Amino acid sequence: MRIAVISDVHGNQHALEAILENVTKQGVDEIVFLGDLVNIHPHSRACFELVMTMNCPVLQGNHEEYVYSVGTNPTLEEERFQTVRWTRAQFTPSQLETMQNLPKILSYSDLLLTHATPRSLSETIRLETPSDDLRLMFEGTTENHIVRGHNHRWFEKNWDERQLWSLESAGLPLGGRWEAQYAILTKEQTWSLEPRFVPYNFEAALAEFNKDYIAQIGVLGHIFKLELIHSKNILHGFLQQYLPAINTKTISLEQAVQQFLQTT
């Protein structure tokens, strides 16, 4: 059995279409999406609608949760979540309901697929995450092979005779390579995984982060644009440095972004 696994498209239609064209040449039996189809790039609805026509398994990610939770989660009213609110406005109520009803895990023979972990759509795993923490994150599961996305960084890790693969992002990779990325899982005697790197129209995707789009999604659009350019997690460092001051209104979000851009 061969499964193409795609995670974290984030509305990057150029990357998604390039991956799907590549997948058609691979002779796979199944395509699975691990969530975060939406938010950040401008074509969330187009990506969501395309994937929903494919009649393949689609899991929920934390960005789907953000989008359908606007209006019920007060945190999402903060200025830094303007991108989420803009993205939500692109969807119909029926599409938001579909998004909310997406499953959070998928299991094949000795294979578990999820966005982050079974207990949380937003949980971070790193190469150095202790085995004791992983046992709690995957408590109640028995599959020996686990595939996840969420952190936009490729690594593989073994613990307790279990193997975990963490995938790069299709639409916003942060591991130093700009190509659209996905993976092919193959089951022979056991599961193996091969990362795939697909050239796509990166210049077109980058050009979409113009002044007009950033005006709509908010000043963090500048940070997302930098992440796309450098294939590097820049938002995390920005928030570590400035979020406490933003929360106490010592500095505005716009001032913080401008200071950050001047020193980066």
Read off φ and ψ for residue 238, nearest 5 degrees.
-60, -50
Structure tokens at 21: 């064209």
167 Rama sector, left if φ>0, alpha if ψ -120 to 50, beta otherwise:
beta
The 191-198 sheet, strands edge to edge:
30-33, 2-6, 180-187, 191-198
Residue-wise over 206-237: b if at least 16 C-beta within 10 A, else e?
eebbeeebbeebbbbbbbbbbbbeebbebbee
Q: Between the CA atoms of 75, 78, 81 and 86, what dihedral angle is there, to the nearest 10 degrees?
A: 110
The 162-166 sheet, strands edge to edge:
105-108, 111-114, 145-148, 162-166, 155-159
CB 205 within 8 Å of CB 41: yes
CA distance 263 to 257: 10
pLDDT in tens, the chain (264 residues): 999 999 999 999 999 999 999 999 999 999 999 999 999 999 999 999 999 999 999 999 999 999 999 999 999 999 999 999 999 999 999 999 999 999 999 999 899 999 999 999 999 999 999 999 999 999 999 999 999 999 999 999 999 999 999 999 999 999 999 999 999 999 998 999 999 999 999 999 999 999 999 999 999 999 999 999 999 999 999 999 999 999 999 999 999 999 999 987
Distances 222 to 33, 105, 215, 260, 261 between C-alpha atoms, Å: 27, 33, 10, 10, 8
Query: To 5 degrees, how large is the angle CA 78–CA 220–CA 98?
Result: 65
pLDDT for the residue 263: 87
Classify domain 2-198 by CATH architecture. Answer: 4-Layer Sandwich (3.60)
Please measure the distance between the N-terminal and C-terminal CA atoms of the chain and give it in whole angstroms: 46
Residue span(s) of the chain under CATH 3.60.21.10 come to: 2-198
Going by the DSSP 8-state scheme, the letter that residue 168 receives in this structure is P
One-letter amino acid at 92 equals T
CB 100 within 8 Å of CB 92: no
